[in-house]
Amino acid sequence: MKTIKGPALFLAQFAGDAAPFDTWDGITRWAADCGYKGVQVPSWDGRLFDLAKAADSKDYCDEVAGVAAANGVQITELSTHLQGQLVAVHPAYDQAFDGFTVPEMRGNPKARQEWAVDQVRKALTASRNLGLTAMASFSGALAWPFVYPWPQRPAGLVETAFDELARRWRPILDHAEDCGIDICYEIHPGEDLHDGDTFEMFLDRVNGHARANMLYDPSHYVLQCLDYLDNIDIYKDRIRMFHVKDAEFNPTGRKGVYGGFQPWVNRAGRFRSLGDGQVDFGAIFSKMAANDFDGWAVVEWECCLKHPEDGAREGAEFVRSHIIRVTEKAFDDFADGGTDDAANRRMLGIS
């Protein structure tokens, strides 16, 4: 068995225009002060990280990693959530997702998609330059507007959407193979890869590509009423990344999974700071240890109630208290009577 690494923190929710959150030196120093050992980097945020330079220059990557190390943390993974989202966008969401790209690409879906693919490829190359093994991303979505089958979906609609999604991602996955990096898709509502069935539909179409893997985040499963513990056992060989995020689901006579178009604080399903929700993290960390997950436990702080800095500091200690330092021996070794093949045969009554 292997011991999970951590705690680490996804920086996307904390980067900002005020110190210490506006520079790489400042935010890594702050993360270490909160008790984190690692940080997951939003590759799109130029205040913290120059993606183009990281893809072109190993020296730049060494410099970035060096600053982090000097402040007491290491880079766990790069994230391309926003760029991955733009690899596949249904026209209904064109305007809503235009803000994820650079200004010169807005209003031009074709150019935006090409830019997004290039960004994800650059992040894979940068990950290799940083000596990493995995990268987080979203899959994007073509079929999501049709998630509820009313009106009845035309025959072949979903299959065509997944065929196209796989066609767009297959060259990126091949580049990931060349770089030695796993792409870990966060299984997330709003993405075509939003549960186990949809992940398998995609995996079938990329011929079981070894670099197509999962980012496990139980909070998104709680809000879908999906068994998040069984999911670990089913996909243990594909789970290569772990977001530690809490959630609660409290349906009423007025609202359930769909949320009634309410703001987060008024929804039945809400993201919460670690320990304030309903996720059984004791069981999750036990399953991760039993399944030999040796990646990072990365806090992704999202909460509709608590201040983010409080959530971050509490999250570091929460993860630290849940990481299981795995045993190197069986608990009942003290009762080992010692035996050999002959003794075993005698015990079984085999002459």
CATH code at 254? 3.20.20.150
Residue 185 has pLDDT above 90, yes or no: yes
CB atoms within 10 A of CB 275: 15
| Average pLDDT rounded to a whole number, residues 92-103 | 97
Mean pLDDT of the chain: 96
Phi-psi region of 3 (alpha: psi -120 to 50; beta: other; left: phi over 0): beta
**pLDDT at residue 226 in the model:** 98
pLDDT, tens digit, 9 for 90 and up, residues 279-289:
999 999 999 99
Alpha-carbon distances, residue 183 vs 138, 169, 234, 267, 348 (angstroms): 9, 10, 19, 31, 50
pTM for this model (two decimals)? 0.96
Domain that holds residue 54: 5-347
Residue 336 has pLDDT above 90, yes or no: no
Highest mean pLDDT of the ranges 120-134, 317-331, 335-349: 120-134
**Number of structural domains the chain divides into:** 1
**pLDDT at residue 30 in the model:** 98
Which segments of the chain are extended strands (E)? 5-10, 38-42, 74-80, 134-137, 182-186, 212-216, 239-244, 246-249, 269-272, 296-299
